[in-house]
Structure formats: structure tokens, C-alpha cells
Amino acid sequence: MFITKKHLSRRTVLHGLGAAIALPLLDAMIPAHTALAKTAAKGKPRMGFFYLPHGAVMNEWTPKGEGTSFEISRILKPLEPFRSQLTVVSGLGNKPAESNATHAITPGTWLSAVPPAKGHAPNGGVTIDQIAAQHIGQDTPLPSIEVGVTERGGAAACNGTYGCSYGNTISFRTPHTPLPMEADPRKLFQKLFGEGDSEAERAQLSRDYASILDMVSDDAKALNLRLGARDRAMLSQYLESVREIERRVQKMQASDISKLKLPTLPVGVPEFDKQLRLMYDMVALAYEANITRVTTFMLDAEVSNLAYPHLGIPDAFHPLSHHNNKPASLEKLAKIQQYHTEVFASFLAKLAKTSDGEGSVLDNAIFLYGSNMSNSDRHDHFPLPLAVVGGGCGTCKGGQHLRYPDRTPIANLLLTLLDRAGVPADAVGDSTGRFAEV
């Protein structure tokens, strides 16, 4: 542990043989007689970008009414508890995403608004999550994390003109460096809580030791002796959350049947719901422990052939998205999209209860939730389904539905979100200005 004479460092970690665990904000990290706003307890922005493939059923997404007196829509209804920190943004489009290679470039252009160059080698734009990571993520162990649930989608996520660089990620560190979405819960867990210079080393540590909590137990006991009652309770609750994540990851790994020769089965992953919620829980812990402040999350793969049997929907996601305006197909699609919002809302509820300086993690968050596609049957990139959630350390207004002139660039919203997080940027993609109303 690194402990000053007056208080614990905000970067205090528990150490053990081959492992280290970052900690949530504790009272002991605030120096005595120091104003909260002048310490590490001052809220710092968390940014997150949560991408739903295949657009949205727009008449079920777009709220009725504008300004502060809007009526929240069916798909967004789970976000009603967070209405005061919710801004639904309508009227935006992403012209740089338009091409004949719809699925192949749609994800990778959502956060850059830069048209990729033709060719199989990646050559697009830096995404705003990575711009943010350079400014608000450099004093965290991981400047950013990239998360998925399904590793890859169907063949249409690749294209003969643009290759496969843009269809399976929403994050680009440089124009030539796409970042893969981590869809393996164990690998994500090891990245967040394990120690090692490589994935192979972290995997070996995981095999050698049953639990990283066991490895840091002596350090945790020593730290407890220095904490007050409130901090001890918070530390205990946090470590219990880590232990529960470990248990769930191990349980999922134990049920792995990938090495068995199986008969042909219907398309669908029965454990998808558990895995989706598990990945959200790990992201929540990463925010709480200040392991990262920037997350990108693909809630399903582009061109996903996943079914949703737990919703009573045996149809594969991507074929269903080509609904041909059939009421039965539109109803199933809206049900899937509302389900994703429900799980996202559960994640938000957890962050709203997690202390972070003067407020909660959600109070300090700036989250973009939505898609880079509109009507999935036509592969439109206007009007885009977009919602901003979180207080942004007091910089985001919330409680409103904003409608901008048709085809206003999404890049204007991306630039605005960087502004709200205190990240300097003159422009993003084809931006033409900022939104003062957000």
C-alpha cells in the first residue's frame, strides 16, 4: 500500500503475489481540513459509449413532444427513473457512414464521423472515446476499455471494398488502429483485476491462484486497521462485489462446452442475458475503482445472428432487423431493443448508488446510448436513435428531448460530449458546431 502521513492516496491499491486491486473512493483518501472540491474526491467525468446494432424502430424510440415536457417512448421507458439526467437527441444523421458497405463501416464510424478510405487496411478516424482517453484516462490503470458480448457478427460485417476493420469495433485509437471489443468475461476480468505484462501471463496467474482476493488478503487486513467504520464497510462491500464477479466468471467458464463435438443446434445463445449483465457489472466495478474512466461497449455484434429465446423470440437478430414493415417483426424488434434498454437501466441504477466524491458515478457520467443506424430495413443513417445519460459533473442538463434540423451531423453531438467532459477539441469529423442545449 501507498499511504501518506495524512491520508490514503487515491491510487492506493491492494497488493499480493502477482495481483493488484484498485480501490473505490474512501473517506480516508480525503485529507483532513481540505475542501472536497480541491481533493481527489472532486468528481471526475466518466465517459461511456453503448452501441446497439441494427438501429431502432424509430416510432417506438422517439419521444412525443419536445423540450422538457416530452413523453418518453416505449424503447426508452426503462430510463424513466433517470429522466432528470436524460437527453434524447433527434434529427441527427451520419453522412460519413453512408456507403454500399452498410454493416461493414457502420459501427466503426459511429464515434468518429469520418468516412473510411477504401482498402482492406484500416484507414478511418480516431474515435472520441480515444480522444477522451488521452485527456481524462491517463491517470487510471486503463485509459479505456473496449467491451463486447458477441465476438463477431455475420459475414456482412466485412466487405470486399473496406475489409473487416470497421464492422466489429466502435473504437479506433488512431486512424489505422482499430481496438477489438473484449467479449470473453474471464479475459476482461483479468484485464481489470489481474496483473501481468501480457494476456498469457494474466491467464497463468489465474490458473495458479483460485482468487486474486486471496492473494491480497494480508494487505486488505492491514488496510482495514487504518480505516474508519464507514470506510471498512465500503471496502468490505466492494471486495464482496469483486468476489461475486469472480464466482460468476468461474461458473460460466465451468459450463464451457466448446471442446465437445455437438450436434447442429438452432441459432441462439441461451446464456446471453447472463453474460451481458456480467459485462455491465464489470464495467461498473471498473468505474467504481477508477480503473478506467472511458468505456466503449457493443451490446451485440453487427450482423448478429443471435436469437433472444429468453424474450420468447427465436428469430436471429439481423434477419429480424430486415422487417419489411411487417407488424409482427417490428414488434419483436422493438421488444429486443427495449430489453437492451432495460439492462442498460439496471447498470445505471447501480452507478446511481455508487458514491463518487460529492455525488454518484452516474452524477459524474457522460454516456451515449444508441446506434449509428436508423431504420434497419433500409440501412438508413438518419434519423439516428441517440440518448445522452448522466450528470457530467454538473455540465449536462438532462430532462429534455432535443430535436435539431434534419440531418444535423452527429459529429456536433460528439464534439459537445467532449466539451462537457473538459476534453479540448476544435472539431470532430464533419462537425459544424456544438450544442449549447445538451
Length of the chain: 438
Interacting residues of 225 by C-beta distance below 8 A, sequence separation 6+: none
Q: What is the mean pLDDT of the chain?
A: 84
Residue 285 covered by a domain: yes
User: What backbone torsions phi and psi does residue 388 show, to the nearest 5 degrees?
Assistant: -110, 130
Nearest to 119 by CA among 81, 80, 165: 165
Interacting residues of 290 by C-beta distance below 8 A, sequence separation 6+: 10, 22, 24, 25, 140
Residue 263 covered by a domain: no
Q: What percent of the chain has pLDDT over 90?
A: 56
Q: CA geometry: angle at 47 spanning 27 and 124, to 5°?
A: 150
| pLDDT tens digits, one per residue of 332-382 | 999 999 999 999 999 999 999 998 888 999 999 999 999 999 998 888 999
Residue 115 covered by a domain: yes
Domain that holds residue 61: 45-186+270-420
pTM value?
A: 0.82
Residue 344 covered by a domain: yes
User: What single-letter amino acid sits at 183?
Assistant: A
Residue 434 covered by a domain: no
Mean pLDDT, residues 238-249 taken together = 68
Residue 288 covered by a domain: yes
Contact 180, 165 (CB under 8 A): no
Quote the CA–CA distance of 245 and 234 in Å, as a whole number. 17
Mean pLDDT, residues 207-228 taken together = 71
What are the helix (H) ranges across 327-409? 327-352
Counting the structural domains of the chain, the total is: 1
Residue 205 covered by a domain: no
Q: How many helices (H) and strands (E) does the chain have?
A: 12, 15
- Report which DSSP code applies to 172: E
| pLDDT tens digits, one per residue of 373-412 | 999 888 899 999 999 999 999 999 999 999 999 999 999 9
How far is CA 24 from its chain centroid? 19
Quote the CA–CA distance of 65 and 67 in Å, as a whole number. 7
Mean pLDDT lowest for which of 5-9, 326-330, 333-337, 366-370? 5-9
Q: Which residue has the higher pLDDT, 226 or 111?
A: 111
| pLDDT tens digits, one per residue of 21-59 | 677 777 777 666 555 445 555 678 999 999 999 999 999
Residue 191 covered by a domain: no
Burial class (CB in 10 A: 0-12, 13-18, 19+), 247: exposed
Helix axes 410-420, 128-136, angle to 10 degrees: 10
Q: How much is the pLDDT for 227?
A: 85
We report the CATH number of the domain holding residue 59 as 3.40.720
